[in-house]
Every structure is written in structure tokens, then in C-alpha cells.
Structure 1
Amino acid sequence: MPLQCTVAKNAFLDGLNSLQNITNKKGTMAILSNVLIEAQGNGLVLTGTDLEVGLRLFVPADIASSGNITLPSKKIFEIVRESGSESVTIEETENSWVVITAGHSTYNLAGMANDEYPEFPEYEDDNFVSFESHIFLDLIDKVIFSIASEQENIYSLTSVLFEKEKKEDGNYLRMISSDGHRLSIMEKDVAGEIDNLRLNPVTLIPKKGIQEWKKFCESRDSVEISFEEKQMVVRDNQAVMVIRLKQGEFPQYRAIVNAVQLENCARINRIPFLESLKRINLFTEDIFHTIQLKIDNDKMTLTSQNADLGNAKDVQPIEYTGTPLTLGFNCRYFLETLQVMECETVEAYINSNNSPCLIQSDVDKGFISIIMPMQL
């Protein structure tokens, strides 16, 4: 039977909005840019997938006639968003066309039959563990900025490494990301029982999956998660997301952390340091954003130079009693690290002029950032 239903605009819009990042990816299958709409029972089930991330969610609706169809995700979203009516009616006609009525407006939109639409991945219903959403939001915010881009040669660096660990003082979840030039680690003590999380020896979640996981958590107080060999599942009582895991190895990040001796420490006020970096970055070269840091006694001098524009210099007071240091760094790496921190004072540990810089604070518990130096 042809599909016919009426759905509240705001609820429909929220559901379609959740699918936009997934369905608007350019791919080889045209139907993946469509949203699958299934009218059944007392509502609509909306499904989108790019074969890496799949999202299925429920929207309450008045169903006059059950049915299935796929419609262009971006266009139906735009129609509903611009609608001046509080409700939207969809009626399927011949050859997968639909008539959409919203207030005084009527649209004829070409859809596609759902025959070619990929099956939503099946998953086991056991081993789900419930967590408060803010746990994952905090973990993701602290590592997402240093995931490697898709052009990275080391395939696994385009993902986040996810780990669990039982310590004497509690159960911990941990995320680690690196683009080869920097390393971000965030761990949190969690109240949930982590034994049921069946992680792989190396559990890699792709960047797209991390982005959608964050978006899923932003509108929810709590979520359930489960891991299988090739996928992870995030869900609540209204929606379920399946993320395909990546395979491969991840750098031995603990060795990198252990290589930095926590002795030569500079204590720096975070906000003034951040503002100084923004000023100095105005004169960095566009590709590498190289700056020079000179640390001596209780003073840090930041300089940058641009062959076409000129140069900049900024001086910041710090607490430091170690040997004088002169180092080169990518300014953007420091900016992005400091922006996700919340402390007043950061602790920067640097062993020598050619050593990486380890950044942490007493306030940002569980967070460590390591930034590799650059040749000046």
C-alpha cells in the first residue's frame, strides 16, 4: 500500500536533522543520499546510512496508510525546515513520487523505491551498558581535534582508540587520538560496570563515527553502548546508531608519554597564553604555523615570521626554574589543546630543545596532550 501520514513539523525536522551529516556524503550509491521512511504503527522510522555509520530513529506520527519509501534527505529536510505549518502530510503516489502538503504549500518530490536501500546492520541485544552522555561528550571533546585527516597515510590514525581499564580506585574509559605530530589522551572514572563492554584488543572508532556519536549524545541525558567485533552500537529508547569499527594497529602511545620526564616544568596562565598564541599566529606561514618559543627564567618569548608580511613577538610571564630552552612548534596545535582545557594554569613539561611538550593540569583530570617539536 502507498504510504500516507501526517507528522508534527518540529519532531520530523529534528529527526531529519540528525541524519544530514550521514546522508549528505558523496558516495558511489545514489540511494545513500536518501532517507528511508517507514510508516508503521504509531509513527515513522527514519533511517540513514553511509555504510560506515547507520542511524535509525522513531518519530511519532498519524499513519493513515503504512508503507516504505526513500526520499532525498537534504531536500525533504529543507522542505520541512522552511514549512510555515505545524504539521506535514506525506502521500505516496505512482512511481515512488510523493505529494508533500505543509500549510498552503504543496510539493511533488521524486523518491526511490526502498528495494536497493542497504539493510540496517543487525546487532546483539546483550551486553549493553548505560552511561550518562556527558561522559562521552567530555572524552570526545578532548581528543577529536587531533584525529588525523582522511589523507593521512597511516590508516589507523584517522580513528580514535577506545580503551577500558579497571584500576584500584575505579573503572575508567579512555580515548586516544594522534595525527602523528601530536597525541591527545582523555580518561574518565565511570560509575557504570565496564566488564560487559567487549572491546577488541585494538578498538578503533572512525572519525565520522566519533562525530556522530557526539551529536547523538548532545541531545540525550544517557545512552547505552555495546561493542561487537566489527561494530559498536549506541542507542536509547528512540534511536539506535551502528558504527563500523576500523581494523589495524595504533601507535604505542604509552611509550611516548613515558618518554617525557615530568621534571622540567613551566607553569603558564592558560588564557593569557591562548590570547598570545592567537596574536602570534597572525604572522605564521599558512601551512605549518611555525612559532618559536624561548623559555628562560620567568619569561616565555613567542615569535613568528612570515616571508611576505613581517614578524610578531609576544612576551608572557611564567613560572620556570629549569635550563633555558628554544623550541619550534606548530602554533595551531597549542591553540586547539588550550581551547579544550578549563584550568587557569597549565603545566608544560619539556626535557630539551628537541623534546616534545607534555601539557596537563590539576583541573583537567585525565587529560594529557603531547605536541611534537618542529625544526626551526
Structure 2
Amino acid sequence: MKFTTNRDNLLKPLQLVTGVVERRQTLPVLQNILVSADDNGLSLRGTDMEVEMVAQASEGVTVVRPGETTISARKLSDIWRALPDGAEVSIEVHDDRAVVRSGRSRFTLSTLPASDFPGLDSTAADTEFNIARGDMQRLVRQTSFAMAQQDVRFYLNGMLLEVTDQHIRSVATDAYRLAMCTLSQGVAGVERIRAVVPRKGVLELARMVADNDEDVHCAIGKNYLRARQGPFSLGTRLLDATYPDYENVIPPMPDNRFVADRETLRSVFGRVGILSNEKYPGVRLGMEADVLTVQANNPEQEEAEEEVAVEYGGEKVEIGFNVAYLQDILGVLDTDSVRIAVSDSESSALIDGPGAEHSVYVLMPMNL
């Protein structure tokens, strides 16, 4: 196998494909990426047997001799990044060695047979649909931060993607907070499909759609999801689990609610949170007559307090929250204002952006 290309043509494909490859693998070939060259151009594939990324490249690639092999993902990616912008590069494979040449540089890498590289089994799709790149970004960005990490309830270590003929919705929760984003576009003929996408698949999907304006084509099967966007394709196994009944967790809009400028409130939480308990970073919110008082203290008897002008006409309420969780929510909302509503000091808060009900957040209170 031999091909030539410009360094810049393969930089993003290599970064995306290498992103799914784990550094520590029981199978050595899984530390490699599959490189295939034919008359149609170049194909790069990486997998950890749960998530798979494929990148196609044809423009600016000259295939001198077709073939395929597997090359260390990290080493090839590191070499590629280290080459100067615009450099012309060739890769030639002989026996079990791949030689990378660019200018006066030469790198000789070990390879493993392409026949050893595993594929990711997939089932036939139950539904397929196209979604605008911006909408897919919104579904992921506004909910994925609430996914759990390494929770024994493994279904929490992922994001629910729900498709009906009325909506496409994403939901994530770690049992302390819940995030939901709904697009008011459905898929005709679909009654209800629920796919629990694992955390890594969600994060790699976000990376894939970050810099490409093309629509995303999604195919969902019984245990598999594939998302294609232009020359890139992400495949991921789905978590075999029943997701919690999230709709019962979302309370009706409480009467005690205030509206504030989102960036102002975010800055206040950032300042006051400096003196919160490092292990349990909580802040206390006191609401009364168009004023919100934000307080924090720590075991060293240090305190911080700041008042914020808000729109509030409810009862006097004091309630505590994890300030990091509040900041996460304010960081992904795409509205100028934020609305926080509570029933009392012991009930969950409902948070959204006024006039932008497509994103809703539920946050458990914290004892301070």
C-alpha cells in the first residue's frame, strides 16, 4: 500500500478516529487504526469494540498502490500533528512496516494485519432520520453534562435519545440533576424509540459535529446507533437498559419562581462559590421581594454573600444547591434570562430559560 496526501487533509480525520482508541487494550490491534486505500481514496477506522469512528478522505489523496493495514493510532496521530502545516506526506507499507515520509523526515512504524482488526456488529435499523447539525449539537450540549460517571446504575452513564412522531428528545441524569432538551420535530411513522447512548458515544458524537455544518443522518437499531455526517461516521453500541421514567421527575411549574439575567447570576455564583465548602460546594439562595441573596460558607468559618436584583413575587424561601451544578446549567442555557422555580426548601428546583421551554432542568436541593 502506498498513498500521498497533504498533512492538513488528514489532520481532523486522524484526530476523530484516534479519539475513540483507548491507550490500554487487551488486544494490541485495538491500539491501532485500520488504514485502507483504494480507487475511492482513503478510509480510517478506529474502535474500542463499543464505539467506532470511520473517516473517509478522497480529495487531495493520491493512491499509488491500494491496500490496507493497521498502524498505531497515537503514534501516527502524534507524528501528523508534529509535521508542519501544508506538508506533503506519503505512507508506504512493506511487510509489517509502514514508512511515513515528509520532506527530510522519515518515520518507520510497526503494523499489524488488517485481517486482525475487528468490526463492530450492528443490527438493522428500526428507524432512520436526518437532523440539522445545530439541532444535534443542542441535544447533546444541553444535556450531556448531567450524565453520571462510573455509576453502578450503568444506564445513568449515558444519554437517552427518544424519537417519536412528535419530537426528538435527549435526557441525561446522575440522580442529583436532570437535563432534558426537546426538538419539536418528529419522525413520521415512529411511535416511540428509546436509545440509551453510552457516555463515550455521546462525547465522540459531540466532537464529530463540532466543525461541520452538514446535516447528520441517524440510524437506530435494537442495540446500535450510527450517525453519519459528510465523510465521518460514528457507530456505538447502546446500553442494554431501561431508562428511568424521567417524566415523573419533572415537577409542574412551582409558584415560587424568580427571573434573573443569566450571565449576572452566573458571575455571582462564581464569586460566592469561592468560599463554599471545597468537598461539598453548596450555596444558599434566599428569595424575597425582588431580591435574591446568595450565601456560602466553609469549615474555616469564612463567608461570602451577594444580593442580586431579580423578578420575584413569591413567598420567602431559603434553599441550598450545589453551586457547580447550578453553573453547569447556566453555562449551557442559550437564553439571556434564567428562571428558577421552587415549591419549598426541600423540593427540587425547576430551571429553564423564559420563552425557551425546549430545555428544562431539575436540580435536587442540598442540605447546608
**1:48 Cα deviation after fit:** 0.4
Task: Find out whether 1:282 has 2:274 as its counterpart.
Answer: yes
Following the alignment from structure 2 to structure 1, what is the Cα–Cα distance between the partners of residues 219 and 191? 8
Aligned twin of 2:315: 323
1:10 to 4, 8, 11: 8
Task: Map Cα deviations across residues 22-79 of structure 1 (whole Å, 9 max, x no partner).
Answer: 0144332222121110111131111000111111121122122222111111111111
Query: Contact (CA 8 Å) 1:198, 1:226: kept in 2 or not?
Result: no
Letter in 2 for 1:341: L
Structure 2-normalised TM-score? Answer: 0.93
Task: Find out whether 1:355 has 2:347 as its counterpart.
Answer: yes
Q: Which moved more, 1:173-182 or 1:33-42?
A: 33-42
Letter in 2 for 1:41: D
Following the alignment from structure 2 to structure 1, what is the Cα–Cα distance between the partners of residues 325 and 6? 44
| Inter-CA distance 333–126: structure 2 relative to 1 (3 Å threshold) | closer
Following the alignment from structure 2 to structure 1, what is the Cα–Cα distance between the partners of residues 284 and 122? 53
**1:371 Cα deviation after fit:** 0.6
Query: Contact (CA 8 Å) 1:285, 1:305: kept in 2 or not?
Result: yes
Task: Map Cα deviations across residues 160-196 of structure 1 (whole Å, 9 max, x no partner).
Answer: 1111233xxxx31100110110010100123xx6136
Letter in 2 for 1:296: E
How many residues align? The count is 364
Query: Contact (CA 8 Å) 2:227, 2:235: kept in 1 or not?
Result: yes
**1:159 Cα deviation after fit:** 1.0
Aligned twin of 2:181: 186
Task: Find out whether 1:92 has 2:93 as its counterpart.
Answer: yes
Query: Contact (CA 8 Å) 1:283, 1:309: kept in 2 or not?
Result: no
Query: Contact (CA 8 Å) 1:137, 1:217: kept in 2 or not?
Result: yes
| Inter-CA distance 125–249: structure 2 relative to 1 (3 Å threshold) | closer
Q: For structure 1, list consecutive stretches of 5 or more residues without a partner in the other structure.
A: none
Identity of aligned residues (%): 21
Query: Contact (CA 8 Å) 1:25, 1:50: kept in 2 or not?
Result: no
SS of 1:282 mapped into structure 2: helix
Query: Contact (CA 8 Å) 1:127, 1:196: kept in 2 or not?
Result: no
Following the alignment from structure 1 to structure 2, what is the Cα–Cα distance between the partners of residues 300 and 212? 39
Aligned twin of 2:171: 176
| Inter-CA distance 9–173: structure 2 relative to 1 (3 Å threshold) | same
Matches within 5 A, 1:231-310: 231-258=224-251, 260-308=252-300, 310=302
| Inter-CA distance 144–25: structure 2 relative to 1 (3 Å threshold) | farther
Aligned twin of 1:19: 17
Aligned twin of 1:144: 144
SS of 2:312 mapped into structure 1: coil
Structure 1-normalised TM-score? Answer: 0.91
Query: Contact (CA 8 Å) 1:197, 1:226: kept in 2 or not?
Result: no
Aligned twin of 1:215: 207
Q: For structure 2, list consecutive stretches of 5 or more residues without a partner in the other structure.
A: none
**1:243 Cα deviation after fit:** 1.1
Following the alignment from structure 1 to structure 2, what is the Cα–Cα distance between the partners of residues 46 and 123? 22
Query: Contact (CA 8 Å) 1:4, 1:66: kept in 2 or not?
Result: yes
Task: Find out whether 1:344 has 2:342 as its counterpart.
Answer: no
**1:146 Cα deviation after fit:** 0.6
Following the alignment from structure 1 to structure 2, what is the Cα–Cα distance between the partners of residues 165 and 323? 39
| Inter-CA distance 13–332: structure 2 relative to 1 (3 Å threshold) | same
Query: Contact (CA 8 Å) 1:157, 1:179: kept in 2 or not?
Result: yes
Q: Which moved more, 1:12-21 or 1:351-360?
A: 12-21
2:41 to 23, 27, 43: 43
Query: Contact (CA 8 Å) 1:45, 1:56: kept in 2 or not?
Result: yes
Q: Which moved more, 1:315-324 or 1:272-281?
A: 315-324
**1:275 Cα deviation after fit:** 0.5
**1:329 Cα deviation after fit:** 0.7
Aligned twin of 1:64: 64
Task: Map Cα deviations across residues 255-301 of structure 1 (whole Å, 9 max, x no partner).
Answer: 1113x443222122211111000001111222221111111222111
SS of 2:106 mapped into structure 1: strand
SS of 1:195 mapped into structure 2: coil
Following the alignment from structure 1 to structure 2, what is the Cα–Cα distance between the partners of residues 70 and 55? 14
Task: Map Cα deviations across residues 202-258 of structure 1 (whole Å, 9 max, x no partner).
Answer: 420111111111222222421211111010111145232211100112222111113
Query: Contact (CA 8 Å) 1:304, 1:312: kept in 2 or not?
Result: yes
Aligned twin of 1:155: 154
**1:13 Cα deviation after fit:** 1.4
Task: Map Cα deviations across residues 115-149 of structure 1 (whole Å, 9 max, x no partner).
Answer: 32112435547853222111110111110111111
Following the alignment from structure 2 to structure 1, what is the Cα–Cα distance between the partners of residues 227 and 317? 47
Query: Contact (CA 8 Å) 1:295, 1:326: kept in 2 or not?
Result: yes
**1:153 Cα deviation after fit:** 2.1
SS of 1:10 mapped into structure 2: helix
Following the alignment from structure 1 to structure 2, what is the Cα–Cα distance between the partners of residues 172 and 340? 21
Following the alignment from structure 2 to structure 1, what is the Cα–Cα distance between the partners of residues 131 and 118? 30
